[in-house]
Amino acid sequence: MELTFLGTACMVPTKDRNVQAIYMSYQSEGILIDCGEGTQRQMNLAGINRNKVTTILITHWHGDHVGGIIGLLQTISNKDVPPKIEIYGPIGTKKSIQHLLDSVIFEQENLDLRITELDPEELTTIKETDDYYIQAANMQHTTSCVAYSFVEKDKRKIKLAKAKEVGLTQGPIMREIQNGNSVTINGKLIEPDDVSFIKKGRKITFVFDTIPNKNAIDLAKNSDLLISESVYLPDMSENAAKYKHLTTADAGLIATNAEVKRLIITHFSQRYKDISVLESSIKDFFTNAECSYDLMRIKL
């Protein structure tokens, strides 16, 4: 699992920061959280194959979060067999995507889009596979806005030395153990915990464009990593309340109440030319915290 911050600016790009997008690579999937203007170029700079995008999670329809979607879809449509792309977003997403498609001319027949609109008043699972599930919840912004958690499922892992010791080999019996079932080998009952262990799945939460609220805390609860917007320092709290954004104090409070292990803030106002002031501030409110920067990579 790897995360790449493709843009860390708020509202408008700066010389050093593009607008909002985060790319998460998980196994064979590419999950894009928002897709602001210039995201394709940022993917080029990061060495990310744009055709690997399989899912787009849209937090809301302000331009700095969605301005790059149509260009990305056009690029993907050029592939002989484009991947199926699942798009999740707040109510109105289907109409907005159609408006984007109608605004430009390209061969759209190859596109395979599956669009799901969300209005999760409380914590809701919106997608589930054998390996993970994605949860969402409404935030409180100036327009409909959704936050997301990616939750990897716990997996039973084989202790190879122990497995060899009892004569456990690859095949149906191994699969039974991995499914948590006991087996009999050479007349001896083998319990799953004798030859395997549970590897805890990882949880990453993405909270953007909101004021502090219970859903943000519930969604982020016990996350290994919380990625949160933090547009302002605390001395700009009036602006934060007016435009419904988080300060460093707000982000730290959510992280503390949600008992997350690590916090990374992003989505910074252009007024902060040097993010060191934000980095210093966020550590005052949550010790294991840091600022993101464009093209920052994290392996989990």
Query: Does the active-site annotation cover 64?
Result: yes
pLDDT value at residue 168: 82
Average pLDDT on 51-61 reads 96
The overall average pLDDT reported for the chain is 95
Residue 241's CB is within 10 A of a number of other CB atoms, namely 12
- Check pLDDT > 80 for residue 182: yes
Residues 6 or more apart in contact with residue 185 via CB below 8 angstroms = 166, 167, 168, 173
Sign, CA dihedral 76-78-82-87, equals positive
Domains and CATH numbers, the chain: 2-154+200-299 (3.60.15.10), 157-197 (no CATH)
Locate 123 and state its tokens. Answer: 């914590």
Residues 6 or more apart in contact with residue 247 via CB below 8 angstroms = 230, 231, 232, 233, 234, 236, 237, 240
- Check pLDDT > 80 for residue 82: no
Are the CB atoms for 277 and 174 separated by under 8 Å?
A: no
Find the catalytic residue in 64, 209, 250, 294: 64
The predicted-structure confidence for 147-174, as pLDDT tens digits, reads as follows 999 999 999 888 888 888 888 877 788 8
Are the CB atoms for 12 and 271 separated by under 8 Å?
A: no
Average pLDDT on 68-86 reads 91
Average pLDDT on 16-38 reads 97
Average pLDDT on 217-226 reads 98
Residue 248, SS3?
A: helix
Average pLDDT on 261-273 reads 97
